[in-house]
C-alpha cells in the first residue's frame, strides 16, 4: 500500500467575487508534519500513469481535486492530470485520498500550534512555498508573494483598471522577510487607514501574500474603481501581487477557527463575523466575542493564558468583512511608522519602471504556462492582447508583448546581484527601435505635482480616466460600481475654475446611472489628501439623496442632508483652494445605499461619521478624480 505525506488538498472549481467569496470549496489535511521537497520520504514517491498522453510521472501527490491531481515531480516542477486520464489503480488512489481529506475536514477544530509560536501555525499550512522562523520578538515569514497549493487561484482576472503590471515572484526572504510581532501591545492612539497607511502592506495573509490598505493613496476604495481581481488582489508598481481585501477563501484551508492573516501590529485577522450568529456558527467569532466591530473592524476577546496582551488572556483581533474596510481598517496595536509606511516590512524588487494605465482594458485570463512562465490575456474593445513572460534561474525576465492590433515587441530585464535587500534591478541594455511595448492607451497620464510619487513597490493606484481629454471625467465600470461622471471638467481635462475658490465657488455638477438593485438612498463626498499621513481635506459631505435622483446641477444646494466640510466647518460646499503650484486631485465618491444612514439631521456630521454610518448599508460606490491646477499667482478666496 502506498503512503502519502499529509499535504493533500481538495478544492473543486473554487470561485470568488470581490469581496472574496467565503464559499470556495477548499479542504485540507493537517500539514504541520509536511516536509520540504528535499526532505520528503522517498518511500512515498509514486509513478502516476497518464493513459491519455502515455506519460509516466514520478513524484509526490501534492493536491487532489474533483477534476484531477497535481504531482510534485521528483525531478522538479509540477504536473496536473485529470482524474479521467489516470489509469484505474491511480484513479482509485486519488479518490481514496479525496475521501480522506473530506473526512478530516469535517472537524472544525483549531490548528494545534505544538511548540511553535501560535502565530506560525496558519503559515505552516502553506509550506513549502511559505517558510517561518522566529526569535523572541518576531515571527519571520518568507514567501515569493504568489499563490501556490493548497490555494493556487487564478490571479488578475476581472481587473478593469489595469496599470499594465503583472505578477512576478518576489524575494521576501532573509533580511527582506515579513515580520509579525509575537507580543502585541495596544496603541494609545490607533492609526486609521482612512487617513494613513497608504504606503506598503498592513497585514500578511496566511499564504504569504501581503495585504494593503483597502484605500489607495488617493483615499479611494480600490475595488470600487475596478483595480482588483476576483480574489481582491492586483499588482503594484513593482509587479508585486498583493491583496486590498480579505482573501476569504483562505479560511477554507486554515479552518473556520483560525486566522486568515495577521496585521503588522501582530493582531490576528479572522473570517467574516456576524454578532447575531450563534456560538459555533460559521460567522460567529471563533474566540467567543459577541461585541460589535469597531471602526477598525476589530473587537476585544479572550485568549489562552500567555497568548494575550502582556502575557495575559485579554487580547484584540480583527475580522474580515464584505464591505469597507474588508480587512483591518487600521492599526489598533503599536507599530513603528516611517513616513506613511509601517516598518519593518518586506519590499518588492522592481525589475522595470512602472507602466501607464491601459484605458478600456479588462483582464480576461491569467495562467502559468511553465514552472517560471506566465501568460496574461486582456481585451480592449473586444480585441485580445497578450503579455507572455518567463524568468530564468539568474533572475532575468523576458517579456513578449502582443497588442490588440497584433503588433509585437520584446523586453528583457535582469535582477541586480543583491536580491535579499528589497532593492530593485536593472534592464539589460537599451531598448532598440521597435522594442517598446505597443501603446494603446493614448497619451500618458498627466504628471502629478506636489508630494513625491510612491516608491515603485507601492500600488499602481490608477486614476480613473487618466489621460482623458474629453469634457467629462468619469470612472470605468467595475463589479459593484456604476457609471458616475462630472461635466464640470473642461477640454483640458481639468476642473473648471468656476467650481473653485479662483472662480464662483459653485459646487460641480454630477451625473450617474444604473444604480445597484435595492438602492434606497445616496450619499456623496469630496475630499483631498495633500500628502501621505496628512489630515484629509473635505469639501462635500451629503446624504439622504433620493435614489430616484440621476444628477446634481452646478451650484445645487438642495441635495439631501449636508455634513460639515473641513475648510470652514460649515454644512455646505467648500470649493477647492489648495495652496502651492501644481496639479491637485480631488476625489468625489457616490455611495449607493440600501437604506438611510442613522445620523442626526442637524449638528456637525463629518465625512468620517458618514462613512462609519453607511459601512453596513453600502451596496456599491463609484469614484472620480477632479483635477485642478491653480494659475500662477492666484490668490485664495475664503469660502463664505
Q: Of 50, 75, 104, which residue sits at a domain end?
A: 104
Q: Per-residue pLDDT for 22 more than 70?
A: no
Average pLDDT, the chain: 78
Does 18 lie in the same domain as 42?
Answer: yes
User: Cα 549 to the chain's mean position, in Å?
Assistant: 32
In which band, very low, low, confident or very high, does the pLDDT at 216 lie, cut at 50, 70 and 90?
confident
C-alpha 553/C-alpha 94 separation (Å) is 64
Q: What are the residues whose beta carbons fall under 8 Å from the beta carbon of 18, sequence distance 6 or more?
A: 158, 223, 228, 229, 230, 231, 232, 245, 479, 480
Does 47 lie in the same domain as 87?
Answer: yes
What separation in angstroms does the CA of 135 have from each of 141, 181, 303? Answer: 12, 10, 21
32-73 pLDDT, tens digit per residue, is: 333 333 334 444 578 888 888 888 888 877 777 777 888 877
In which band, very low, low, confident or very high, does the pLDDT at 620 lie, cut at 50, 70 and 90?
confident
Nine-digit cell at 431?
A: 531598448
User: Which segment, 109-118, 251-260, 450-459, is predicted with the most confidence on average?
Assistant: 251-260
Confidence at residue 485, expressed as pLDDT on a 0 to 100 scale: 87
Confidence at residue 417, expressed as pLDDT on a 0 to 100 scale: 38
In which band, very low, low, confident or very high, does the pLDDT at 101 lie, cut at 50, 70 and 90?
low
Does 307 lie in the same domain as 229?
Answer: yes
Task: Identify the H or E element spanning 610.
Answer: helix 607-613
Whose cell is 496599470? That residue is 163
Mean per-residue pLDDT, 125-131:
95
pTM of the model: 0.56
Torsion of CA 89, 92, 94, 97, to 10 degrees: -130
Does 282 lie in the same domain as 310?
Answer: yes
Do residues 629 and 583 lie in contact, with contact meaning Cβ atoms separated by under 8 Å? yes
In which band, very low, low, confident or very high, does the pLDDT at 134 lie, cut at 50, 70 and 90?
very high
Going by C-alpha positions, the residue among 263, 308, 316, 267 that lies closest to residue 291 is 316
Report the relative pairing of strands 268-272 and 314-320 from DSSP bridges: parallel
Write out the residue range of the structural domain in which residue 145 sits. Answer: 118-343
C-alpha 270/C-alpha 266 separation (Å) is 13
Does 100 lie in the same domain as 124?
Answer: no
Query: What SS3 state is found at 499?
Result: helix
In which band, very low, low, confident or very high, does the pLDDT at 103 lie, cut at 50, 70 and 90?
low
363-405 pLDDT, tens digit per residue, is: 999 999 998 999 999 999 999 999 999 998 888 999 999 999 9
558-579 pLDDT, tens digit per residue, is: 888 999 999 888 999 999 887 6
307-347 pLDDT, tens digit per residue, is: 788 888 889 999 999 888 999 999 999 999 988 899 999 99
Which of the two residues, 494 and 90, has the higher pLDDT score?
A: 90
Query: What SS3 state is found at 512?
Result: strand
End-to-end CA distance of the chain: 84
Does 625 lie in the same domain as 495?
Answer: yes
515-530 pLDDT, tens digit per residue, is: 988 999 999 999 987 6
**Does residue 453 fall inside a structural domain?**
no
Confidence at residue 140, expressed as pLDDT on a 0 to 100 scale: 97
User: Cα 352 to the chain's mean position, in Å?
Assistant: 21
Which of the two residues, 184 and 438, has the higher pLDDT score?
A: 184
500-517 pLDDT, tens digit per residue, is: 888 888 999 999 998 988
Do residues 525 and 538 lie in contact, with contact meaning Cβ atoms separated by under 8 Å? yes
Mean per-residue pLDDT, 139-164:
92
Strand partners, 612: none
C-alpha 588/C-alpha 268 separation (Å) is 33
**Does residue 456 fall inside a structural domain?**
no
The CATH number of residue 99's host domain is 2.30.30.700
Does 173 lie in the same domain as 73?
Answer: no
Confidence at residue 193, expressed as pLDDT on a 0 to 100 scale: 92
C-alpha 330/C-alpha 206 separation (Å) is 19
**Does residue 368 fall inside a structural domain?**
no
Confidence at residue 405, expressed as pLDDT on a 0 to 100 scale: 92
Could you tell me what percentage of the chain is helix, strand and coil, using 3-state DSSP and rounding each to the nearest 5?
10, 30, 60
Q: Per-residue pLDDT for 412 more than 70?
A: yes
Question: Which region, left, alpha or beta, applies to residue 104 given φ > 0 means left and ψ of -120 to 50 means alpha?
Answer: alpha
**Does residue 263 fall inside a structural domain?**
yes
Confidence at residue 78, expressed as pLDDT on a 0 to 100 scale: 73
Question: Among 182-186, 188-192, 463-467, 548-552, whose mean pLDDT is lowest?
Answer: 463-467
Which of the two residues, 217 and 385, has the higher pLDDT score?
A: 385
**Does residue 402 fall inside a structural domain?**
no
Which of the two residues, 158 and 65, has the higher pLDDT score?
A: 158
The CATH number of residue 559's host domain is 3.90.280.10
**Does residue 369 fall inside a structural domain?**
no
Going by C-alpha positions, the residue among 258, 265, 157 that lies closest to residue 207 is 258
Do residues 111 and 255 lie in contact, with contact meaning Cβ atoms separated by under 8 Å? yes
Please state the domain count of the chain. 3
Q: Of 104, 138, 155, which residue sits at a domain end?
A: 104
Q: Per-residue pLDDT for 11 more than 70?
A: no
Do residues 148 and 126 lie in contact, with contact meaning Cβ atoms separated by under 8 Å? yes
Q: Per-residue pLDDT for 273 more than 90?
A: yes
**Does residue 583 fall inside a structural domain?**
yes
573-605 pLDDT, tens digit per residue, is: 999 887 666 678 888 999 999 999 998 876 789
DSSP state letters, 81-121: EEGGGB-HHHHHHHHHHHHHHHHHTT--PPP--TTS-GGGH
Q: Per-residue pLDDT for 120 more than 80?
A: yes
Q: Per-residue pLDDT for 356 more than 60?
A: yes
Q: Of 343, 376, 398, which residue sits at a domain end?
A: 343
Does 309 lie in the same domain as 204?
Answer: yes
Going by C-alpha positions, the residue among 558, 550, 554 that lies closest to residue 483 is 550
**HEC profile of 8-38:** CEEECCCCCCCCCCCCCCEEECCCCCCCCHH
Confidence at residue 72, expressed as pLDDT on a 0 to 100 scale: 74
Side-chain half-sphere CA neighbours of 312 within 13 A? 9
Confidence at residue 270, expressed as pLDDT on a 0 to 100 scale: 96
Does 573 lie in the same domain as 515?
Answer: yes
Q: Does the N-terminal peptide bond of residue 128 adopt cis geometry, omega within 30 degrees of 0? A: yes
Confidence at residue 542, expressed as pLDDT on a 0 to 100 scale: 94
Does 142 lie in the same domain as 43?
Answer: no
Do residues 337 and 311 lie in contact, with contact meaning Cβ atoms separated by under 8 Å? no
Does 172 lie in the same domain as 74?
Answer: no
Confidence at residue 203, expressed as pLDDT on a 0 to 100 scale: 98
What is the 8-class DSSP label of residue 431? P
Does 177 lie in the same domain as 92?
Answer: no
C-alpha 477/C-alpha 225 separation (Å) is 7
Do residues 445 and 473 lie in contact, with contact meaning Cβ atoms separated by under 8 Å? no
In which band, very low, low, confident or very high, does the pLDDT at 481 lie, cut at 50, 70 and 90?
low
Q: What are the residues whose beta carbons fall under 8 Å from the beta carbon of 57, sequence distance 6 or more?
A: 47, 48, 49, 50, 71, 73, 79, 81
Residues above pLDDT 90, as percent of the chain: 42
Q: How many residues does the chain have?
A: 640
**Does residue 384 fall inside a structural domain?**
no
Amino acid at each position: 500500500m502506498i503512503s502519502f505525506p499529509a499535504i493533500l488538498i481538495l478544492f473543486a472549481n473554487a470561485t470568488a467575487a470581490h469581496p472574496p467569496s467565503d464559499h470556495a470549496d477548499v479542504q485540507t489535511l493537517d500539514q504541520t508534519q509536511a516536509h520540504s521537497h528535499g526532505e520528503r520520504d522517498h518511500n512515498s514517491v509514486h509513478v502516476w500513469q497518464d493513459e491519455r498522453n502515455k506519460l509516466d510521472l514520478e513524484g509526490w501527490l501534492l493536491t487532489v481535486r474533483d477534476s484531477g491531481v497535481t504531482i510534485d515531480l521528483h525531478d522538479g516542477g509540477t504536473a496536473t492530470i485529470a482524474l479521467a486520464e489516470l489509469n484505474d489503480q491511480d484513479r482509485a488512489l486519488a479518490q481514496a485520498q479525496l475521501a480522506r481529506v473530506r473526512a478530516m475536514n469535517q472537524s472544525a477544530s483549531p490548528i494545534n500550534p505544538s511548540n511553535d509560536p501560535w502565530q506560525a501555525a496558519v503559515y505552516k499550512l502553506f509550506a513549502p512555498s511559505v517558510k517561518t522562523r522566529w526569535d523572541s520578538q518576531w515571527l519571520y515569514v518568507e514567501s515569493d508573494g504568489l499563490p501556490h497549493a493548497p490555494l493556487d487561484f487564478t490571479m488578475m482576472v476581472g481587473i478593469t483598471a489595469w496599470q499594465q503590471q503583472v505578477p512576478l515572484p518576489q524575494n521576501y526572504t532573509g533580511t527582506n522577510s515579513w515580520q509579525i510581532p509575537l507580543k502585541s501591545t495596544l496603541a494609545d492612539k490607533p492609526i486609521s487607514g482612512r487617513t494613513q497607511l497608504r504606503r506598503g502592506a498592513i497585514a500578511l495573509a496566511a499564504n504569504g501574500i501581503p495585504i494593503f490598505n483597502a484605500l489607495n493613496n488617493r483615499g479611494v476604495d480600490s475595488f470600487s474603481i475596478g483595480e482588483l481581481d476576483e480574489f481582491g488582489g492586483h499588482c503594484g508598481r513593482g509587479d508585486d501581487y498583493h491583496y486590498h481585501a480579505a482573501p476569504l477563501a483562505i479560511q477554507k484551508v486554515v479552518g473556520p477557527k483560525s486566522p486568515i492573516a495577521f496585521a503588522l501590529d501582530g493582531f490576528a485577522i479572522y473570517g467574516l463575523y456576524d454578532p447575531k450568529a450563534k456560538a459555533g456558527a460559521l460567522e460567529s467569532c471563533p474566540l467567543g466575542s459577541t461585541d460589535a466591530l469597531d471602526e477598525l473592524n476589530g473587537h476585544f476577546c479572550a485568549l489562552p493564558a500567555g497568548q494575550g496582551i502582556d502575557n495575559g488572556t485579554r487580547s484584540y483581533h480583527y475580522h474580515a468583512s464584505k464591505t469597507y474596510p474588508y480587512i483591518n481598517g487600521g492599526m489598533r496595536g503599536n507599530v513603528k511608522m516611517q513616513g506613511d509606511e509601517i516598518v519593518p516590512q518586506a519590499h518588492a524588487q522592481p525589475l522595470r519602471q512602472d507602466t501607464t494605465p491601459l484605458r478600456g482594458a479588462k483582464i480576461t485570463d491569467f495562467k502559468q504556462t511553465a514552472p517560471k512562465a506566465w501568460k496574461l490575456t486582456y481585451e480592449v474593445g473586444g480585441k485580445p492582447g497578450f503579455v507572455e513572460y518567463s524568468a530564468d534561474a539568474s533572475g532575468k525576465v523576458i517579456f513578449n508583448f502582443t497588442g490588440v492590433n497584433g503588433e509585437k515587441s520584446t523586453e528583457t530585464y535582469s535582477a541586480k546581484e543583491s536580491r535579499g535587500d528589497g532593492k530593485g534591478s536593472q534592464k539589460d541594455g537599451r531598448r532598440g527601435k521597435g522594442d517598446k511595448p505597443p501603446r494603446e492607451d493614448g497619451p500618458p497620464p498627466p504628471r502629478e505635482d506636489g508630494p513625491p510619487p510612491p516608491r515603485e513597490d507601492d500600488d499602481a493606484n490608477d486614476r480613473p480616466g487618466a489621460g482623458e481629454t474629453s469634457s467629462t471625467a468619469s470612472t470605468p465600470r467595475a463589479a459593484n460600481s456604476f457609471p458616475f461622471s462630472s461635466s464640470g471638467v473642461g477640454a483640458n481635462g481639468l476642473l473648471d475654475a468656476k467650481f473653485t475658490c479662483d472662480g464662483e465657488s459653485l459646487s460641480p455638477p454630477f451625473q450617474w446611472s444604473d444604480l445597484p438593485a435595492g438602492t434606497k438612498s445616496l450619499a456623496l463626498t469630496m475630499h483631498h489628501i495633500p500628502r501621505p499621513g496628512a489630515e484629509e481635506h473635505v469639501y462635500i459631505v451629503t446624504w439622504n439623496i433620493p435614489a430616484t435622483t440621476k444628477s446634481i446641477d452646478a451650484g445645487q444646494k438642495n441635495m439631501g442632508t449636508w455634513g460639515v466640510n473641513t475648510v470652514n466647518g460649515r454644512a455646505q460646499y467648500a470649493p477647492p483652494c489648495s495652496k502651492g503650484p501644481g496639479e491637485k486631485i480631488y476625489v468625489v465618491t457616490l455611495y449607493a445605499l440600501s437604506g438611510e444612514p442613522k445620523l442626526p439631521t442637524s449638528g456637525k456630521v463629518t465625512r468620517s461619521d458618514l462613512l462609519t454610518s453607511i459601512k453596513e448599508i453600502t451596496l456599491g460606490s463609484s469614484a472620480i478624480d477632479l483635477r485642478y491646477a491653480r494659475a500662477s499667482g492666484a490668490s485664495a478666496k475664503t469660502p463664505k
